[in-house]
Amino acid sequence: AGTIVATGRNRGTEGRGDGNVLGGTLIAHAEINALAQLPPGDYPDHILWSTLEPCFLCSAAVMHSHVGLVRFAARDPLMEGVDRLPMLNAWAAGRWPRRDGPVDGPIGRFAGLLALSWELERGSTVVPAAYQRSDPGLLDLAGRNIERLRSLAAEPVEAALADLLPELDRTGE
């Protein structure tokens, strides 16, 4: 019905969480933190929105949480094939949520840019290598704009998107 019932963000680099929030652990993903706020039940009409295509862990959590639809803005090249998990197990296939994504155009590219930039900032080599294979243009844009993205982090997301829109349009061609 358009009502936000829970929110979450990645808290893996923060201190330990409290209550229904995980923090300070590698499994403190945004999706997990949002889903942990739902009481046990069935949520076939609920939508989980995610910046990136959910990983194996988050996809399984969505399935166990009985959420009916997952929408994501950007593909995660590390998670290629996650959508085929229901083909491996009949029980999982019966519980698997519908998936909708990625978002076409600059919004989807911006979501991928944010996640990729964060990985570059923390020195990841695995994620950039995956983008080198799947989207070298976005990897180049992220590498050229680390300082710019850092300065835009304090801005509203709309301002950061507007600032990067011309380059996002060019890399998506």
Rounded distance, CA 133 to CA 77, Å?
9
Flag whether pLDDT at 171 surpasses 80. no
Question: Is the Cβ–Cβ distance between 32 and 10 less than 8 Å?
Answer: no
**pLDDT classification of 172: cutoffs 50, 70, 90:** low
- Percentage of residues in the chain with pLDDT exceeding 90? 55
Q: Helices (DSSP H) in the chain: which residue ranges?
A: 30-35, 56-65, 90-95, 106-121, 126-134, 136-144, 146-152, 157-171
pLDDT surpassing 70 at residue 173: no
Condensed to tens digits (0 to 9), the pLDDT of residues 19-77 reads 778 888 888 999 999 999 999 999 999 999 999 999 999 999 999 999 999 999 999 99
pLDDT at 87: 93
Task: Assess contact for 87 and 81: CB atoms under 8 A.
Answer: no
Helix axes 157-171, 136-144, angle to 10 degrees: 130
Q: Which 3 state secondary structure label does DSSP give 50?
A: strand
Average pLDDT over residues 119-140: 91
Q: Output the six-digit token pair for 72.
A: 């994501």
Instruction: Count other C-beta atoms under 10 Å from residue 161's C-beta.
Output: 19
Residues 6+ apart with CB under 8 A from 22: 11, 28, 32, 33, 36
